[in-house]
A and B are shown apart, each in its own frame.
Chain A
C-alpha cells in the first residue's frame, strides 16, 4: 500500500474506512433497514481508493465485495467484480483529477456510485429489478445522491475531528 500519510492520520483514516464498513453491515444486516440504508460499502472503497495504489484498492474492493456477495443468493461475485473495478478506477482517477474540496469529493462519490450501479446492473442481469432506463437513469442517480450525501457528511465530521484538510 502506497500510503504516505503520517501515522496518526493514517490511523484516523483507516478507522473511518472500517467505520463505514461496520456501519454498512450493521444497518443492512443487523438492523435490517434494507434498501433505505445507504451503500456505505461503495463509499468506503471510493474514499479509500484515493489513498491507495490501484492494485490495493482493487483488492479492498474484492474483499468487501465478497462480504456483501455472501448475503445474496443471486449473482454471487458480481459485487466483488464491481467493487474491484470501482476501486481500481478510483485510485487511477488521481491521474486525471486532483482535489479534496467537498464539492469535488461529493461529485467523485456520486459518479463512483453511479458507475458502480451501472456495472453491477450489467453483471447481475435478472437479479436486478426494472428495465435499464429506469434503473440506471432514475434509481441509480438517486442512490448515488444518497450515498454521496452520507459520505460527505461523514467526511465533514472526520475533518472536524482530525483537523485534516
Chain B
C-alpha cells in the first residue's frame, strides 16, 4: 500500500508550511463566531450534503414500512390524540373568545415530523427533522414526543431543521410542578450513557417540599415552550443550596433515543406559546402571574 517518494529537506519544509496554512484555515472555522458559522453550515448542507439529505425521506418511508406496526401505530395514535385534543381545545378557545368578543389569538399548531440522528461526533444531543421553513418551522419551535417535551429547533433549512434535545448542555426550560406550587428551571444532568441522563429542576424555593412522583411541566414562561408540556417526574432532591433554593432530580418524560415521530410547533402564540396542560391531563392551574396582555381586546372594548 505504501507508495511514495521521499521528499528533499527543502520540499518537506515547504510541505509543513502548507500544512500549517491548512491548519490555520481549519482553526479559522473553529473560532468563527457562531453567527458566521451558521451560513457556512447551511451552505455545505445545501450543496455537498444535499443528495444525502434528499434521500432521507425515501429511506424513512421504507424504514417505517419495516418496523413493528403495532409499536408505530401506538406512537402515531398518541401523537394523533394530542393533535385532536389540541384541535378541540382550540375550537373551545375560539368559541369562548367569540362569546367574550375577543379577537382570535394565534395559538400553537403542530405538524408531524420524523427524527433522524446523524450519530456523528459531537452530535449526541442533536437531531434532524424532515420538516423545515417551507412547513412553517422556525428557530425556537418546540419539539414534542408522545410523552412530553423532546427539545427545541435551533436551525432551519428549507425542508429540514436541526434541534437539540433536553440532554444538550445548553437546554433550559422554565418549569413548574403540575399543581403550580413551585417554579424553577429544568436543565439536564448527563450520565455516562444516554440512558442515565436525568433532568434537574433548579431554583425551586427552599421552603418547597416537592414529593417524589410529582409531575413537572413547562410553565409557559420565557416564550419558547407552551405551558403544560410534561418534562418529567420528581425522583428526589439533588441538593439544597445554602438555604436559599433546592434542586430536584427528575425522571424524564421522554427518552430522546426512543423518539422517532414527533410534533413540531409551527406557530406560537404571541409572546407565550399557549397552554397545552389539558393534552396530557396535567390540569395545571392558570398562570395568574404572567397572564398575557390582550392589547387587541382592550382596544376593541374601548372602541365599543
Binding site for B on A (CB under 8 A): 2-5, 25-26, 28-37, 39, 50-51, 53-55, 57-59, 61-62, 65-81, 84-85, 88, 94, 98-100, 105, 117, 120, 123-124, 126-131, 134, 155, 164-165
CA distance A4 to B31 in the complex (A): 37
Other than the given A62-B26, A88-B23, 14 more pairs (CB < 8 A) read: A25-B52, A32-B56, A55-B18, A58-B18, A69-B29, A70-B49, A73-B123, A73-B126, A76-B34, A77-B26, A128-B121, A130-B190, A130-B192, A164-B1
The range of chain B's interface size is: 35 or more
Question: Does B166 touch A at the CB level, under 8 Å?
Answer: no
CB distance from A144 to the nearest CB of B (A): 13
Residue-wise interface mask of B (22-35) relative to A, using a CB-CB cutoff of 8 A (1 in contact, 0 not): 11011111111010
Closest to B121 in A: A120
CB distance from A75 to the nearest CB of B (A): 5
B2-10, B65-73, B233-241: which lies at the interface: B2-10
Interface residues of B in 89-107 (CB under 8 A from A): none
Across the interface, A26 reaches (CB within 8 A) one of B12, B34, B52, namely B52
Question: Does B285 touch A at the CB level, under 8 Å?
Answer: no
Across the interface, B118 reaches (CB within 8 A) one of A2, A29, A65, namely A29
Question: Does B116 touch A at the CB level, under 8 Å?
Answer: yes
- A39-B121, A59-B22, A72-B120 given; A5·B34 CB < 8 A: no
Question: Does B243 touch A at the CB level, under 8 Å?
Answer: no
- A28-B118, A29-B118, A36-B119 given; A54·B16 CB < 8 A: yes
Closest to A164 in B: B1
Closest to A63 in B: B48
Across the interface, B1 reaches (CB within 8 A) one of A53, A67, A100, A126, namely A100
Q: Which of B19, B37, B40, B169 has most A Cβ within 10 Å? A: B19
Closest to A143 in B: B121
A70: which B residues are within 8 A, CB to CB?
A: 40-42, 44-45, 49
Check A69 against B27 for contact (C-beta < 8 Å).
Answer: no
Check A4 against B5 for contact (C-beta < 8 Å).
Answer: yes
- Show 22 A/B contacts (Cβ-Cβ < 8 Å), sorted by A: A2-B7, A4-B5, A25-B49, A32-B116, A32-B117, A32-B118, A34-B119, A51-B2, A54-B12, A55-B18, A71-B45, A71-B118, A72-B123, A72-B126, A73-B154, A74-B168, A75-B122, A76-B37, A77-B27, A88-B23, A98-B2, A129-B190
CA distance A92 to B31 in the complex (A): 26
CB distance from B108 to the nearest CB of A (A): 23
Across the interface, B23 reaches (CB within 8 A) one of A2, A58, A67, namely A58
Counted as pairs of residues, one from A and one from B, with CB atoms less than 8 Å apart, the total is 188
Binding site for A on B (CB under 8 A): 1-5, 7, 12, 15-19, 21-23, 25-32, 34, 37, 40-42, 44-45, 48-49, 52-53, 55-56, 59-60, 63, 116-126, 128, 154-155, 162-164, 168-169, 190, 192, 194
B116: which A residues are within 8 A, CB to CB?
A: 29, 32
Closest to A165 in B: B1
- A77-B26, A77-B31, A105-B1 given; A53·B122 CB < 8 A: no
Q: Which of B116, B154, B162 has most A Cβ within 10 Å? A: B116
Q: Which of A85, A117, A165 has most B Cβ within 10 Å? A: A85
CB distance from B112 to the nearest CB of A (A): 17
Q: Which of A62, A71, A76 has most B Cβ within 10 Å? A: A71
Closest to A24 in B: B120
CA distance A34 to B19 in the complex (A): 31
A35: which B residues are within 8 A, CB to CB?
A: 119, 124
Closest to B124 in A: A129
> What are the 8 tightest A-B residue pairs by CB atom distance, in nearest-first order?
A34-B119, A77-B30, A55-B18, A70-B44, A100-B1, A77-B29, A127-B122, A35-B119
Check A4 against B118 for contact (C-beta < 8 Å).
Answer: no
